A and B are shown apart, each in its own frame.
Chain A
C-alpha cells in the first residue's frame, strides 16, 4: 500500500490541473454566454453559395450528424 503515498500526490496534481483549467475557462468568460456558441456551430464556414447555385440546407447537415 506504500504506492498510495506516491499516487495520492499524483492524483492531486492532475486534479489541480483540471481546477486550473476551470479557473481559466471562467476567467476568459466561457460561462458568460452558454447559448450562442450552440447556435454558432450550426452553419458551416467557408462554403459561400452563389446567388443562384444549389443551396446547402443546414437541416440536412444536422440530420446526417
Chain B
C-alpha cells in the first residue's frame, strides 16, 4: 500500500492565520486544502488523509500539537537497513521472518505520538506490536518481514513524520543491557534493605516497650534469630557495593567514605550476632538495616539519569550511519564504514560530508561551524578538498572520497589522546578529604575508650570499643553530599541545565577562570546578521544601494535590502545588470554601484585592499572598492549581561575558531581584561586550557561544537551548549540549553551556596556523632538509643540538605524565566 495522495479540491490562497490541520504550522499562500481543512504541504495532507482513512482520526483529538510535519523523504534513504549485517546489528531479535528492533525516534513529543506509534499495526500490514518508551524517545517495534521490509517500515515512519535516527555509533557494541541490569540491581538492593528494616523494627518494637523477656518466654530468641536471618541478605547483598568500594579503596591506600561505613557494618553485625547467639541481648539489627536503607536511598537519589542525554558522545554519534553512493548502475545507500577511496557520494542540503573528499560539482557552500567554529559557510569550487563533518548548505553536490572515514581529519583528531581522556572519580572531593580524618578520630576514640575501661572493667571496655564503632558509622555523613547535591542537580535541571553527576557542583563551586567559545556558544548559528566592513555608508549611497538590490531576487540582495532598513525612497535604476554567479550592477543618480563576488571584482580590475576571501559580497561605488559584507553571528539574548557579570568575578578568555574580522566588535563587548584569541584550531584550544590548568587555575569551558571537544575534556568543568535538549553535543560535564546561558553566573553562585549546605549537613551529622560517641565511650549504649539516634540523624541531614539546597535556588528561580518541567 502506498500513501494515498488525495486529489486536491482547490489551492486557493490561504490567509496568513490559517494553520495546517495536521502539523499546526501557518499555511503558506497557495497551500493545498481539502474539504474544510487546510494543509501547509502535501506531506501533511497525505498523512491526514491516511489517518482518517484508516480510522485513526482520534490522533488529532489527543493533543493540540499532535502532528509532525514530514520532511521531504528520499524513498531509498533507509535501503541500507536491508543489508543482513546491518539489520542484525539493529535487531533485538530476527529469525528471517519476524524482526524486533528498538529505534530512536526524536520526533516523539506527546500523547498522540505514543498512541499513533503504538497503533501502527492498524495502519499497514506487516507492523506488529509496537511500544514507545517516551522518556528515551524510543520505539520498540515488531515487523513481519514477509509483508514489510525493515527499510520500508523505516520509510513509512519517516513519511508519517517520525523518521528513525541511525548513527555511526549505533554499530558499536551496545551498552544498553548492561546499564539496565545495574539499574535493576539497585532497585532490588534497596527493596531488600527496606524489607529487612521494616520487619526488624517491628520485631524490636516489643523489646523497646520492655514487654519481651518477662511476659513471653521464647519471644526474644525468636525475634533475635529472625532479625539475624533478615540481616544476612542485607549485609551480603544490599551492602555489596560498600564491600567492593572499600576493598578497592584499601588497595589504593586511601580512606574513602566507604571504609568507615564497611567497618561500622561489620562491627554492628558481629556484635549483634554474638548477642543473639549468646542470648545477651537483641542486637542492633534494626539499626543495621535502617543504615543501609538510608544509604541506598541516598545513592539512588544522587544517581539521576537523564534518559535522553549522553555526556559521553564522540563524533560517531554526530555522523549519520549511511550515505548515498553513486555508481554507474545508479544510487545506492551504503553504510559509512563501507565507503572506499574513490567512491562518489551524493549530499543533499543539510547532509554531512562523511569523509574527506574532493568536490565534483561546480560549487558548494560548506558549513564547518560545528567542526572548526568558523561561523560562515565556506564557498567551494570543483576539486576543492572538503573535510569530514562539514555540512552542505544549498544544492545537491557530489563528492569523491579521498580518505577512508577512519583516517579523515575529524576522526584522526578524535583519536589523539587528549580527546579521549577519561574523567575518573575525583579523589580530592570534600567528602574524601573529610573521611580519612573522621576515620582516624573514630578509631582513636574507640581504642582510647577501650584502654580507659580495660584496667577496671574489661567487659565494659569491649562494649565501649564496639559501641563507638557502631554509633559513629558515618551514615549521616554519607548522606549529606548525595542529598544536597542531588537536590541541586534537580533544581538546575528545571532550568534545563543538566549535570553529568552531582559532584560536578563541587567542581563548579571551585571555578576561578572562564573560557568561552564564540560561534554557536555566544552567537546563534545560522541566524547571522550582515556586517559591513568599511567606512559607514553615506545616505545617498544607502538609498542608491537599496534601489539597486530591489531589482534582484538573489537571497544576498534581499538580505542586504533588509540590512539597509525601511526608510528608503523609490529611485530609478539605469543600466541594471545581473551577472549570474558574479553580482549585480546599476546606475542610480549618476552613481555607479556594483555588488558581487571578489572574483568578479578582480576580473573588472577593481583594486581590493586587504579584503578577506570569506567576504560574502563586495561593494564598489563609482568603480572604487567601498567595502565588504560579512555574515556576523548574532549574539544570543542576554550574552552581554552574562559577559558583564562574569567579568566581575573571573578572568575570561575567548577562544574562537573564527577569524577576527569582527575583532573590534568583540573587543568592545568584552572589557579590556579579557584575552581574545581568534583562529584557534581544536588542538590549540585544548592546549590553551591545559596551560591555564597547569598554572593552577580551575577552568570552566563553555563550548558547543566538535572543535571544543578537547577543550571541554581538558577543563575542570566543560559545559556544552545545545540548541535543543537531546541533540548531539560533544562529551562534557554539563549540558546546558542555550536559552539558559544567561543564568551561568547564577549557577556558579548557586553551586557555591550548595557547597555551604553540604558543610552545614556535615556539621549536623558531626553533632549527632558527638552525642552518640559520649554515650558509647562510657560503654552505656543501648540498642534503643542507637535505633533512635541513627534514623533521626539521617532524617535531619536529609531534610536539611534537600530543604536548604531548594531554598538556595530561589534566586535562580527569580532570575530565570519559568521553564516547563523537563521531558
Contact = CB atoms under 8 A, between A and B. Distances in A.
A61 B118 CA distance: 20
B216 A57 contact: no
A27 to B, nearest CB: 7
Which range contains the number of B residues in contact with the other chain? 35 or more
Contacts of B62: 42-43, 58
Contact of B188 (A23, A34, A36, A58): A23
Nearest to B55: A48
Contact of A26 (B53, B191, B202): B191
B133 A39 contact: no
A33 B135 contact: yes
Nearest to B132: A36
Contact of B202 (A5, A11, A33, A34): A11
Interface string B177-204: 0001001100110011001001100110
Interface stretch (B217-225, B623-631, B739-747): B217-225
A14 to B, nearest CB: 10
A62 B436 CA distance: 56
B114 A51 contact: no
B135 A2 contact: no
A12 B58 contact: no
Nearest to B233: A19
A40 B183 contact: no
B135 A40 contact: no
A40 B114 contact: yes
B270 interface: no
Interface string A14-26: 0100110011001
A50 B53 CA distance: 8
A15 B198 contact: yes
Contacts of B216: 1-2, 4-5
A3 to B, nearest CB: 9
Interface in B294-330: none
Q: How large is the interface on A (under 10, 10 to 19, 20 to 34, 35 or more residues)?
A: 35 or more
B52 interface: yes
Interface string B134-151: 111000000000000000
B521 to A, nearest CB: 31
A3 B691 CA distance: 75
Given A5-B216, A43-B115, A50-B55, A36 B187 contact: no
Contacts of A49: 55, 57-58, 61
A1 B215 contact: yes
A55 interface: yes
Contacts of A8: 202-203, 222-223, 226
A4 B222 CA distance: 10
B459 interface: no
| Interface SS majority for chain A | loop
Contacts, number: 94
Nearest to A43: B115
Given A36-B133, A39-B134, A51-B53, A56 B58 contact: yes
B606 interface: no
B192 A1 contact: no
B219 A4 contact: yes
A55 B57 contact: yes
A19 B192 contact: yes
Contacts of B111: 39, 42-43, 58
A51 B184 CA distance: 44
Contact of A5 (B115, B133, B195, B218): B218
Contacts of B215: 1
B133 A31 contact: no
B134 A57 contact: no
A9 B336 CA distance: 64
B199 A1 contact: no
Given A15-B199, A26-B191, A33-B133, A47 B219 contact: no
A19 B114 contact: no
Interface string B198-240: 1100110010000100011011001100100000000000000
B39 to A, nearest CB: 16
Interface string B430-446: 00000000000000000
A59 B136 CA distance: 25
B187 A26 contact: yes
Given A4-B206, A27-B184, A51 B133 contact: no
A57 B134 CA distance: 22
A19 B191 contact: yes
Contacts of B61: 49, 55-58
A19 to B, nearest CB: 5
Nearest to A33: B133
A57 B111 CA distance: 13
Contacts of B136: 33
Contacts of B114: 36, 39-40
Contacts of A57: 61
A55 B195 CA distance: 48
B132 A22 contact: no
A55 B53 CA distance: 15
Contacts of A31: 183-184, 187
Contacts of B195: 15, 18-19, 22
Interface in B8-61: 52-53, 55, 57-58, 60-61
A34 to B, nearest CB: 8
A27 B188 CA distance: 9
A35 B135 contact: yes
A5 B219 contact: yes
B134 A43 contact: no
B211 A1 contact: yes
B203 A47 contact: no
A22 to B, nearest CB: 5
B55 A35 contact: no
Given A4-B216, A5-B218, A51-B53, A36 B135 contact: yes
B228 to A, nearest CB: 13
A50 B52 CA distance: 7
Contacts of A42: 62, 111
B129 to A, nearest CB: 13
A15 B135 CA distance: 32
Nearest to B195: A19
Interface in B107-141: 111, 114-115, 118, 131-136
A53 to B, nearest CB: 8
Contacts of A15: 195, 198-199
20 contacts: A1-B215, A5-B218, A8-B202, A8-B226, A19-B195, A26-B187, A32-B180, A33-B136, A35-B134, A36-B132, A39-B134, A40-B118, A43-B62, A47-B58, A49-B61, A50-B55, A51-B53, A51-B55, A55-B57, A56-B61
Given A36-B134, A55-B60, 11 more contacts: A11-B199, A27-B184, A31-B187, A32-B180, A36-B135, A40-B118, A42-B62, A50-B57, A52-B52, A55-B58, A58-B111
5 smallest CB-CB distances across A and B, nearest first, come from A51-B52, A36-B134, A1-B216, A48-B55, A35-B135
